[in-house]
Amino acid sequence: MTTLQSQTTHNKVARTLRHSGYKATCVRNNNFEANEYEVKIKGISQAELKELYNVIFSLFNKTMINLINE
């Protein structure tokens, strides 16, 4: 995935999560190996994060998305 595609996809995921009531923000990842962007979600447990990842993964056509809990 190119940098622009990664940014666009992660922004869409963050926006979708915000509309769903989560405190999600798209940020640039300092580790540029896989994806250059990640979505940070505040106030979420590790178990909920795993379930949310499965839903987002299937919604966005099995695209690799970085979801991080804060």
Q: What DSSP assignment string belongs to 5-36?
A: HHHHHHHHHHHHHHHTT-EEEEEE-S--SS-S
Residue-wise pLDDT tens for the chain (70 aa)? 677 888 899 999 999 999 999 999 999 987 766 678 999 999 999 999 999 999 999 998 888 888 999 8
67 CA to centre of own chain: 4
pLDDT score recorded for residue 1: 67
pLDDT score recorded for residue 20: 93
Q: How many other C-beta atoms lie within 10 A of the C-beta of residue 14? A: 23
pLDDT score recorded for residue 32: 66
Distance CA 42, CA 26 (A): 12
Going from the C-alpha of 62 to that of each of 9, 54, 69, the distances in angstroms are 12, 9, 20
